[in-house]
């Protein structure tokens, strides 16, 4: 009878050894390298997946890889606004972030969500530190200009939604060198010390570029980028992505994700992976095994 209290016991010892041996060349290859991980979707809300994610991040750190976590929190912001009786307003799919909404965004992202992730990683044996883009002057931002989809001469005011001006990664590098795991909330600051809510995919992509990360990993609620027939596209080049933008295959919420991923790939991040956060331990499977999960994006 297998020992059901030990989940690894259902895998034969020989298979376990093969799996571990397969990880060795990847551990050697990526030792000392930085991996930026955008954490969102089901992986963030399902307790079993949260635990698996935290364990993966800690294991990567222990084998000498430097994970940097950037998180979103749209659903958590939505439920906090509902609890407070505040009605969310959207223009062209973007949340209008007035001053009272921005206050809620800051305490949900920089407080509740961030500290949950920090706690999970610490509980799994890591040393996580929570940061927002304000810490160490990391993310300078300006007001995002949103042009109307049908008439570009019209500009919509969506409040304190930000566009990144510059990223100073020195606080992240200092923490990495000290064996800490940075957990970053996507909040920037403007020239008058005002706060900005920034798309977490955009922050992850920009941070990966500035840190010259080996990989940018984006966890999503789908298996990767799908074609119009619903088939997974495992390997995408810049040229192919432009075609998918043009014919509408990539649209909606995937647009900023893919645009940011492509920009990172063009600016020196070795590979960008859009992976299914619903798969337990998907980070380890993607980074430390031969098995490819999701969509890989390359500049050419």
Sign of CA dihedral 197, 199, 203, 204: positive
Give the tens place of pLDDT for each residue, 240-262. Answer: 888 888 887 787 677 777 888 88
* Averaged pLDDT for residues 181-204: 95
- In this prediction, residue 1 carries a pLDDT of 43
* Closest among 219, 214, 208, 158 to 182, alpha carbons compared: 208
Q: Known binder of ligand: residue 95?
A: yes
- The SS3 call for residue 234 is coil
pLDDT score of 270 more than 80: yes
Residue 8 reports pLDDT greater than 70: no
Helix H segments across 31-165? 42-45, 47-62, 74-83, 99-107, 114-123
Question: Which has more confidence, 210 or 242?
Answer: 210
Share of the chain above pLDDT 70, in %: 96
Determine if residue 93 is labeled as part of a ligand binding site. no
pLDDT value, residue 147: 87
pLDDT > 90? residue 7? no
SS3 24: helix
What's the mean pLDDT when you consider all of the chain? 89
190 vs 251, residue with greater confidence: 190
Q: Which of 49-63, 183-197, 226-240, 263-277 has the lowest mean pLDDT?
A: 226-240
Q: What is the pLDDT of residue 239?
A: 82
CB 155 within 8 A of CB 147: yes
Mean pLDDT confidence for 155-166? 94
Residue 4 reports pLDDT greater than 60: no
Does the annotation list 267 as a binding residue? no
What percentage of the chain exceeds 90 in pLDDT?
Answer: 56
Three-state SS for 199?
Answer: coil
| 281 pLDDT higher than 80 | yes
pLDDT digits over 63-108, tens only?
999 999 999 998 899 899 999 999 878 888 788 899 999 999 999 9
Task: Reply yes or no on whether the pLDDT at 231 is more than 60.
Answer: yes
**39 near 69, Cβ under 8 Å?**
yes
What is the pLDDT confidence band of residue 10, given thresholds at 50, 70 and 90? low
Determine how many CB atoms are found less than 10 A away from the CB of residue 53. Answer: 26
> Residue 130 pLDDT more than 70?
yes
Quick check: 3 pLDDT over 60?
no
Specify the 3-state DSSP secondary structure of 253. coil
Q: Any known ligand binding at 134?
A: no
Residue 83: HSE in the Cβ half-sphere, 13 Å Cα cutoff: 8
pLDDT for residue 168 is more than 80: yes
CA proximity to 128, closest of 113, 140, 107: 113
The whole-number average pLDDT for the span 5-10 is 50
At the topology level, CATH places domain 30-297 in Carbamate kinase (3.40.1160)
- Higher local confidence (pLDDT), 42 or 149: 149
- DSSP letter for each residue of 78-100: HHHHHHTTPPP-EETTEE-B-HH
**Around Cβ 145, how many Cβ atoms within 10 Å?**
11
pTM of the model: 0.91
| Banded pLDDT at 141 (limits 50, 70, 90) | very high
pLDDT band at 208 (very low <50, low <70, confident <90, very high): very high
**pLDDT score of 56 more than 50:** yes
Q: Environment class of residue 180 by beta-carbon count within 10 Å: exposed (0-12), middle (13-18) or buried (19+)?
A: middle
- At a CB cut-off of 8 Å and minimum separation 6, what does 125 contact? 58, 62
How large is the average pLDDT for residues 45-49? Answer: 90
- Mean pLDDT score, 107-135: 96
């Amino acid at each position: 009878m297998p020992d059901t209290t030990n989940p690894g016991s259902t895998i034969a010892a020989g298979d376990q050894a093969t799996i571990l041996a397969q990880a060795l060349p990847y551990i050697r290859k990526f030792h000392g390298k930085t991996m930026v991980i955008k954490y969102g979707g089901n992986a963030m809300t399902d307790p079993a997946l949260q635990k698996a994610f935290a364990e993966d991040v800690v294991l990567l750190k222990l084998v000498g890889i430097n994970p940097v976590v950037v998180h979103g929190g749209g659903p958590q912001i939505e439920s906090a606004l509902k609890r407070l009786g505040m009605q969310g307003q959207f223009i062209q799919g973007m949340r209008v972030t007035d001053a009272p909404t921005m206050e809620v965004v800051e305490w949900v992202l920089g407080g509740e969500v961030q500290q949950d992730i920090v706690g999970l990683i610490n509980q799994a044996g890591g040393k996580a530190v929570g940061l927002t883009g304000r810490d160490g002057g990391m993310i300078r931002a300006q007001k995002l200009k949103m042009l109307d989809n049908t008439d570009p001469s019209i500009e919509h005011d969506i409040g304190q939604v930000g566009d990144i001006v510059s990223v100073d990664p020195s606080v992240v590098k200092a923490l990495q060198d000290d064996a800490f795991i940075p957990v970053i909330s996507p909040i920037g600051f403007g020239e008058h010390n005002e706060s900005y809510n920034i798309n977490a995919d955009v922050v992850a992509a920009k941070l990966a570029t500035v840190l010259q990360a080996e990989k940018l990993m984006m966890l999503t609620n789908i298996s990767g980028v799908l074609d119009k027939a619903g088939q997974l596209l495992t390997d995408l080049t810049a040229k192919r992505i432009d075609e998918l933008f043009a014919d509408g295959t990539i649209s909606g919420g995937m647009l900023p994700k893919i645009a940011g991923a492509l920009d990172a790939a063009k600016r020196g991040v070795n590979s960008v992976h859009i992976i299914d956060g619903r798969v337990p331990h998907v980070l380890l499977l993607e980074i430390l095994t031969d098995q490819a999960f999701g969509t890989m994006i390359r500049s050419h």
